Structure 1
């Protein structure tokens, strides 16, 4: 790609295009026939592509299944599209012979035509990848050309700024814990605290709420590093404060994240495991039941408990809960907040509590805001309540008043 970018800088604007040609379904082909056959297909496609380039054109291997072509004498988007379609038709019509026999092969093409060239190589690569992804989503064997979108570029710059802010806050120790009490429904004694994320603002910066931080981290692929940071803060707090029991949220990406699991195995043992509750959202259970079952087994081996968060919002059956071996369900707050106005929600919550009791699971009701709701939950047999009625999340300062900071 560097050679192609260099050639572009040396050319005049308006008479070129760059095409990114992706071979379709190589993963399936590899599963069915093996690496050797895939290599033969890739080599055959490379030979076919060379037939479509002129003396001044340039072709380069972009990745295992993709080739980039700088095509000169190509003026305008329509000419680029025609060239891409000709490549697709040629590959589709070709007879690709392999050791496993003749293989049907197709390619999909993303392209950039002058004058849409991004100023930097990174922009060129990003634009080509985006165009190819759009083409694949629309139809395999099709062509899509990149079109500059200023609104999308502004959003990407904003994403970069947010990602840098989150990562810098972790490095600077500005992301810490805020603890919200979860109390016994009848006695109002604290059973444990949920550890929520809080980020201290930079000087003259705006404060971000926990939901904003988590939403941004999930959207930008930073939940792994954020989860590991929060786990480290939580285990440090548990060792400092022997009276503390914490629940910690675990995102879907961390369930099978080797780094998170290795950190958990290193930092959580029988000394603090019984005072740690790991909260998994119901959507995680639905996504990969096998991975969750393994996760629960390893977590409980340390004495830690496992809770299903936002329960009732998805479609997890109680049979799955029994098979997973979890200890607790946290009933989704959207049912709790409306239960005194909705007979349907009230009946649903009571049914969840009764079924959980039959399975030996503790229940937590989230978003409890009124004494009336708390009384109804107590009458239904709910074990714990959590919400504005019993206390909002407050920054954790430790048993001696010192702020919990990441170990460095």
Structure 2
């Protein structure tokens, strides 16, 4: 090819880029060049390509003559769909005079060993027979756009930290496995694997090391996964593994191998070696789940059971009628509880706490009850354990607090004791609401004792300090309930600055005939006395226990023998000054 012909093909050819053969519009060509695009004209009959300015730069071609024919050009293309020739020359559309548009995307090999993504937009025009005669178009570099799209696909498919499947894709893989299993093609299984005590690693080494642990555990699990298995990061420290063609009999052996792979090698991190174990819950499919959500829930359940045993344990899900009955009961009780809250059928029963010497009521403990639609009263044991398990206890505590405040306002002659769950001590709304009531009426605070269970005092001392300080400053007293059941550190009592301790009722049962209980009560009373803390003995059931507790130095008593919980308070004595607070 002579230089004149070559130069013509670079600039636009004898017919230029215009299908009418007019001279190229300089303004249009300059605009195309300015945005970095490359214009071309393809003469289909003789297979010649005419390229506009800037084509070499866009395509990474050192000499444009290397792609002066369509055959030369397409030899460099990589496309997943129909070829460029098929898309244009074998189009089923016909040219009505204005040309037929096309829009293609493909990769082209450059002269530097790389691949470049381009978008090819143009129109082909038919000859006298209607068949495509020539095409004109523009190529645009779209590498950056494809990188962004690939990154979006990656992020929508893979977990950013571990590179494993993310939760969405893991569920899709589980769906596919369950469909195959339900159609009878093969059994499958699902494993949920969690790193044990990752919070301790966070505290001891930092979150960056915990991330290293998660990544390493993921790599080890991936190393054990078979071809066709699907491994993903389910959430936080949990991994999910879908096992096609795996029956229930093999699950225990699979779990043993996974646990050993993690347990037997320390994880080398930037801050040194870390010993790690995992626990696993697994479920065989389709036998024990009819849906993906059910499979996930039951695998979670098996994992929780494994963690409750010991670290480095695994449990294969097995159905249990008793467990299902318990769950059904929990659902019914929860529904009953929410309805009772909405209907304001949560009530208070008042149980007297009496002076050990005179047996006269000094205050009343507020015990929650539920009034049922038929008017019967349900004891706390019917619904409180379920409320605690399902996270509804805060709603109950809030309602009981409102009722206690109403009672204190209506009965200036009584002093009340109000139980608070561990969850509620951190409930800002509960705290602010009660503080607002007490701040408006100081006489309410003088007649209110707030009881915190000992287990909360043991585990949440730092969190409770502010809670206790807030209500003591407002004028309330603070009591530790169930004292002795958890062996509270007396240093914690001093830190919390409580006003009273209530001895756990389990030490009062059979006090007259049980030397161990006598020893415990005597010890607890002596220790409380060293801190100048009055004591209340719970569950007092007979006169003999009253006498013994009084002799041991217990100041206050509570129990059915001294007064059962009642839904109403006794009327004030005639002539009592209701404006005076009870000591």
TM-score by length of 2: 0.57
Pairwise CA distance, 1:174: 1.3
CA distance in 2, matches of 1:131, 1:344: 39
Q: Which residue of 1 aligns with 2:198?
A: 26
Cα distance change of structure 1 residues 17 and 295 upon mapping to structure 2, 3 Å threshold: same
Match of 2:449 among 260, 277, 280: 277
CA distance in 2, matches of 1:18, 1:342: 52
RMSD: 4.0
Q: Which residue of 1 aligns with 2:566?
A: 394
Match of 1:176 among 333, 347, 352: 347
5 Å-filtered alignment, 1:166-315, equals: 166-186=337-357, 189-203=360-374, 207-269=377-439, 270-312=442-484, 315=487
Higher RCO (C-alpha 8 Å, min separation 6): 1
Do the aligned partners of 1:365 and 1:386 also contact (CA within 8 Å) in 2? yes
Q: Which residue of 2 aligns with 1:328?
A: 500
Judge which range, 299-308 or 139-148, deviates more.
Answer: 139-148
Q: Which residue of 2 aligns with 1:3?
A: 172
Q: Which residue of 2 aligns with 1:164?
A: 335
Cα distance change of structure 1 residues 91 and 326 upon mapping to structure 2, 3 Å threshold: closer
Cα distance change of structure 1 residues 375 and 36 upon mapping to structure 2, 3 Å threshold: closer
Q: Which residue of 2 aligns with 1:403?
A: none
Match of 2:316 among 133, 138, 145: 145
SS of the equivalent of 1:268 reads helix
SS of the equivalent of 2:412 reads coil
CA distance in 1, matches of 2:513, 2:201: 56
Match of 1:133 among 304, 307, 322: 304
Cα distance change of structure 1 residues 26 and 353 upon mapping to structure 2, 3 Å threshold: closer
Cα distance change of structure 1 residues 170 and 141 upon mapping to structure 2, 3 Å threshold: same
Do the aligned partners of 1:310 and 1:331 also contact (CA within 8 Å) in 2? yes
CA distance in 1, matches of 2:401, 2:335: 21
Pairwise CA distance, 1:274: 1.1
- The superposition leaves residues 356-385 of structure 1 with CA deviations (integer Å, 9 ceiling, x where unpaired) of 566543343444455666566667665444
Judge which range, 2-11 or 84-93, deviates more.
Answer: 84-93
Do the aligned partners of 2:458 and 2:489 also contact (CA within 8 Å) in 1? no
Do the aligned partners of 1:59 and 1:69 also contact (CA within 8 Å) in 2? yes
Cα distance change of structure 1 residues 43 and 238 upon mapping to structure 2, 3 Å threshold: same
Pairwise CA distance, 1:287: 4.1
Do the aligned partners of 1:367 and 1:388 also contact (CA within 8 Å) in 2? yes
SS of the equivalent of 2:564 reads coil
CA distance in 2, matches of 1:359, 1:106: 44
Q: How many residues align?
A: 398
Match of 1:69 among 237, 241, 258: 241
CA distance in 2, matches of 1:252, 1:296: 13
Instruction: Tell which structure's C-alpha radius of gyration is larger.
Output: 2
Pairwise CA distance, 1:177: 0.7
Do the aligned partners of 1:116 and 1:147 also contact (CA within 8 Å) in 2? no
Q: Which residue of 2 aligns with 1:405?
A: none
> Is 2:210 the counterpart of 1:38?
yes
- The superposition leaves residues 215-249 of structure 1 with CA deviations (integer Å, 9 ceiling, x where unpaired) of 44345444333223222221232234333321011
Q: Which residue of 2 aligns with 1:112?
A: 283
Q: Which residue of 1 aligns with 2:230?
A: 58
TM-score by length of 1: 0.78
Pairwise CA distance, 1:152: 1.8
CA distance in 2, matches of 1:354, 1:46: 55
Judge which range, 52-61 or 221-230, deviates more.
Answer: 52-61
- The superposition leaves residues 182-202 of structure 1 with CA deviations (integer Å, 9 ceiling, x where unpaired) of 334455543221111111113
Do the aligned partners of 2:178 and 2:188 also contact (CA within 8 Å) in 1? no
Cα distance change of structure 1 residues 42 and 173 upon mapping to structure 2, 3 Å threshold: same
CA distance in 1, matches of 2:395, 2:348: 15
Do the aligned partners of 2:175 and 2:292 also contact (CA within 8 Å) in 1? no
Cα distance change of structure 1 residues 243 and 3 upon mapping to structure 2, 3 Å threshold: same
Cα distance change of structure 1 residues 90 and 391 upon mapping to structure 2, 3 Å threshold: closer
Do the aligned partners of 1:281 and 1:310 also contact (CA within 8 Å) in 2? yes
Pairwise CA distance, 1:127: 1.5
